[in-house]
Amino acid sequence: MLSVDLLTNALVAGVLLGGFYAAVSIGLAISFGQLDIVNIAHPAFVILGSYVAWILNSRFGFDPVLIGVLATPIFFLVGVVMYRIYYAAFERTGQESLSGLAFFFGIMFIIEVGIMLVYGVDYRLVAASYIGKSINLGPIGIPFRMLVPFSAAIVMTGAIWLYLSRTFMGRAILAVAQDPLALQLMGADPVRIKQFAFGLAIATTSIAGSLLIIIGPVEPSIGRDYIGRVFAIVVLGGMGSINGMFLAAMILGVVESVVSTFAGPSWAPAVAFGVLLLTLAVRPSGLFGRR
Amino acid sequence: MKPRINAFWLSCATLVVGGLVLTEVLHNDYYFNALYVVLQGTLMAVAWNILGGFTGYVNFGSAGFFAVGAYTSIFLDKYFGHVLPLPVLIAAAALVCALIGLGVGYLSLRLKGVYFSIATLAMAIVLATLISNWRYMGGARGAYILTPDTYLWFHSYIQMLFMVMLLLTVGAVAISRYLNTSRLGRGLAAIRDDEVAAECAGVPTLRLKLISTTLMGALMGIAGAPYPFFVTFVDPASAFSLFVAVNAIAMPMIGGTSHWIGPVIGALLLGSAQQVITVTVSSELNILFVGIMLVGFVTLAPQGIVGLVQKYWRRAR
């Protein structure tokens, strides 16, 4: 039975979810899409962001989104250090494909198990005055725990989009994606730009993580569910295109929400990977492909 | 070359006979449990290396093959009312996973490098979702399996499973060694180094890749098939565990991927270390240890232990 109310609710929830997915994926759109660094550990950093939000929220009662924003410099530095190691060990020697993948796979494991060892496998959640409330527009209910992450995500992706397309450094990042050699001939250092861009990509996970823990409780291994989602979104969006990534995130959010409303939540994880496999098989360049 | 081949088969035979002797002299089942886990890891590592090391296609979905192998034996065991002997189940699992491997091989036509790796990860999760929603197999809650109470001439069921695993692993190592040293293996190495150049030079890349993925799938299915009888309870979370996948990658990477002995060395070292850590410290720390070893080796010694030894030998000469 297809009920209109149920469908509208699923669609609205899907759009809100899609906005949040955009926040989770934008970092990967930069690192994987622009820099060709296959950061499989990206969702693990998001979980790390959630745990930072949880620790500071439960100890000092700060607002989770505020914590996410304040923690970005630290995440940025972590990203810079990660890129230095990655560059020295793999990119310089041209071994990034096999060894680089294994490297990030290992990093993902270390983060996940590290959190598990220190804080256990319990579900953690944050407290904020708006969590649990919702606006009702007729039959449609919009919970604040979805609306706040959605708004924050829109602001963040919008800001990064503006940054990449308007500022000098942003354009340099886009340029390094297209042709690092040409950039070098222009007198710019591709390694420094990539290092900055990778730091930026990891910095976004701090905010994305704080949004994740507003939406629902978080435990260390939840990041694995996001591997498929973020890669599906970036690949479907067309590798590095921020607009495409945003559209893809919306599509995935809506499809997933509709599927879990009508077929049951246990099928939701397959949606992302189904979309991913389909995209890879049919149109590997994605919606807004640059190749 | 002649004496080296004999040395290889001799050591295989010694291992098998050694295993048989062990079942006679050792009566503590714990040791067989531990050895079984190490051997299972070795088999997975050898299987992963056939595609990952020899052919250069990184498979993140090892846990998917492993779990499908395990669930194939659960299905057949339940469907035919617990009468099928273990070798039949293993053969069936090999067949099913070989077919999936063949499908993955065709995937590699369109997808190279990173995209292939992500697609295999995606495939494993789609399979996990399917199994979680399949009520006949226990769904997300998992399935119990009864171990038969006959175990040939062995003193306990686990002893027999250990011997089965030992035979399978030795067989897999022999296959992997054959692949590595034969004409076929040189074709695979050509694909790994430069697929386009290999194709131009007349290497039948598609056929070789299909052989490689099919073989890898079958061997991983074989590794998974006895698993339900080993643990007696299987749920999607444990069968599709990322730990299986990371081990299958970490062991060859630590041992060295270009030589057939690499994954064996890596698996024996890492597997035994894991057993020791699990017993003396904790199983979480053991997973952390794998992660750190993997990251450490790929950054500092990308050629693995085999690479380090080769470098040392060259310098010594």
Nearest to B133 among A90, A117, A266 (CB): A266
Predicted ipTM?
Answer: 0.77
Q: With contact defined as beta carbons under 8 Å apart, do B72 and B45 qualify?
A: no
Nearest to A105 among B123, B128, B249 (CB): B249
* pLDDT the model gives residue B237: 82
pLDDT at B86 over 70: yes
CA B16 to chain centre: 19
d(CA B102, CA B33): 32
d(CA A288, CA B15): 57
State the pLDDT confidence band at A281, using cuts at 50, 70 and 90: confident
B252 touches chain A (CB under 8 A): no
Instruction: Give the sign of the dihedral formed by CA B120, CA B122, CA B128, CA B131.
Output: negative
Average pLDDT over residues B50-71: 89
CB contact under 8 A, B122 and A276: yes
B58 touches chain A (CB under 8 A): yes
In a domain, B10, yes or no: yes
d(CA B230, CA A185): 61
Exposed/middle/buried for residue B113 (C-beta within 10 Å: 0-12, 13-18, 19+): middle
CB contact under 8 A, B133 and A267: yes
CB contact under 8 A, A102 and B253: yes
Q: Which domain holds residue B16?
A: 2-240
Which residues in chain B touch residue A221, judged by CB atoms under 8 angstroms apart? 242
Find residues 198-237 of chain B whose CB sits inside 8 Å of chain A: none
Residue A192, min C-alpha distance to chain B (Å)? 20
CB contact under 8 A, A270 and B130: yes
In a domain, B168, yes or no: yes
The domain spans of chain A are 4-24+41-223
User: Tell me: the pLDDT tens digits for A227-247?
Assistant: 888 888 888 888 778 888 999
CB contact under 8 A, A109 and B122: no
* pLDDT the model gives residue B202: 86
- Total domains present in chain B: 1
In a domain, B145, yes or no: yes
State the pLDDT confidence band at A83, using cuts at 50, 70 and 90: very high
Average pLDDT over residues B230-259: 85
Which residues in chain B touch residue A266, judged by CB atoms under 8 angstroms apart? 129, 132-133, 140
Task: Please give the share of chain A, as a percent, with pLDDT higher than 90.
Answer: 32
Q: Is the whole-model pTM more than 0.90?
A: no
Mutate to test the interface with A, among B49, B108, B125 (most CBs of A within 10 A): B125
Give A196's contacts (C-beta < 8 A, 6+ positions apart): A80, A169, A173
In a domain, B205, yes or no: yes
Radius of gyration, alpha carbons of chain B = 19
In a domain, B259, yes or no: no
Average pLDDT over residues A132-152: 83
**Using a CB cutoff of 8 Å and minimum separation of 24, what contacts does B84-92 make?**
B86/B164, B86/B225, B86/B226, B86/B229, B89/B225, B89/B226, B90/B164, B90/B168, B90/B222, B90/B225, B90/B226, B92/B225
CB contact under 8 A, B58 and A101: yes
Q: Could you give the angle at the alpha carbon of B170 between the alpha carbons of B169 and B171, nearest 5°?
A: 90
User: Which 3 state secondary structure label does DSSP give A141?
Assistant: strand
In a domain, B85, yes or no: yes
User: Tell me: the pLDDT tens digits for B99-144?
Assistant: 999 988 887 777 777 788 888 887 888 888 888 888 887 777 888 8
